[in-house]
Amino acid sequence: MADATPVQAAAGAVVPVSAAPLNAVAVPTTFRERLGQFRILEERRLELIEELLDKLEKTEAKLAQTELDLQSEQNVRRTLQAEVVEAKERESSLAQKQARRPFALVLIDADAEGFTFQDKYLTKRTAGGESLADDLLIRTRELLRPLYPSDADTLDILIRIYSNLESLANTLVRDSKLRNLGQLRAASTGFCGRIAGFDWIDVGVAKDGISTRKVKENVALFAPNCHLRHLFLALDNKAMSPAFLTALPLRNGLASLTLIESAPLPPAISSLPDLRTAKLSSIFAPLPLPKSPRSRGRGVTSGGSGHQLQLTQQEDPDGGSTWLVIRPERSKSQGVGGFGSRGRRGGSDDEDSSLSISIGPDNTVSVDSGRRRRVVG
């Protein structure tokens, strides 16, 4: 086998050229050498096939796992979509229910100081209770209109008054505002019968503070109600605290609460954000006045009769009403013929002969002669 072939140069010289590369593989010449080369190639081909098959199996396993993950994600997504649709349906249904019968609630602790109703509601029996229901409804809607302009006049109004009627009646009789418990019961009956959602509840003779506890229990019961739009609370200041008010689960927090004031609220409560207050001075009687130079009394003695005519004038510190009370007094030892005597044989006692004339803040004149009480409108 020749190593080089002579090539004719351009100038005519002959230059030897290599016929094969220096590192050329020797071509097998025998059948066995050629068979050995084929075996090597076959082994490499099998190795390549094995490697490809291994990669294919791993890829197929990953693909199967990916399909399972994808199917799981699809199931989760479909579940979430179904839950979102269901939640939207529930929200829409709840909104429809809330809009169907929303209401405002008024809770009054009538045993608390400062929440005694005015005489014009208590002295006129059933008619007075009906007037109280009408006036409370009017005043409640007036307070709701600035807060809910669109539906204040369509909101249902629920009012619950809690009091110990017997104890309250005893206090009013002692103050010469009522004659007996029957008058107060008649007023409460008239209040309940006037409007379906109004109740005046007698808590009965029990421990002090039961009406306050009843009011607070109703607050806890109604505050989470989705239909409650606004709460009006007439409760003794001593029974409230900032923690109690801020913990109420109301729909819009304290923005859904209005405190009805009788006495000035403590600074810790009045400084709470979003808290509203209101005064229903036309509904509740003013607090009794402390002794002060502004309260004055004068006594006049009639000649020869031994009777004393007493005039007392009290002024409201807020510049409101004036009460005038005229009471003739006599001793039990006096005989017949004195001022206010009914001429009974053997003399008369103070209860029969005393005469009390009261002019209330609403210009109502009541005359109490001991046995009979008459109210002039």
Q: Give the torsion through C-alpha atoms of 261, 263, 269, 272, to 10 deg.
A: 40
Does the pLDDT at position 299 exceed 60?
no
Domain residue ranges of the chain, discontinuous segments joined by +: 30-100, 101-278, 296-376
Asked if residues 269 and 143 have their Cβ atoms less than 8 Å apart, the reply is: no
Q: What is the pLDDT of residues 212-257, one digit of tens each?
A: 899 999 999 999 988 899 999 999 888 888 888 888 888 888 889 9
Q: Which residues contact 266 (CB under 8 A, 6 or more apart)?
A: 237
Nearest to 266 by CA among 250, 277, 282: 277
> Of 16-30, 234-248, 294-308, where does mean pLDDT reach its minimum?
294-308
Residue in this structure with the two tokens 């006129």, named with its chain if needed? 124
Does the pLDDT at position 376 exceed 80?
no
pTM of the predicted model over 0.75: no
Q: What is the pLDDT of residues 147-205, one digit of tens each?
A: 999 888 889 999 999 998 888 888 888 888 888 888 889 999 999 999 989 999 998 87
Predicted local confidence at residue 260, as pLDDT: 92
Burial class (CB in 10 A: 0-12, 13-18, 19+), 146: exposed
Predicted local confidence at residue 293, as pLDDT: 47
Dihedral sign computed on CA atoms, order 368, 373, 374, 375: positive
Q: Strand 156-163's sheet: what is its strand order?
A: 198-202, 156-163, 103-109, 228-234, 257-260, 276-278
Q: How many CB atoms lie within 10 A of CB 40?
A: 10
Predicted local confidence at residue 302, as pLDDT: 44
Please give the single-letter amino acid code of residue 218: N
Q: Rounded to 5 degrees, what angle do the CA atoms 197, 199, 204 make? A: 160
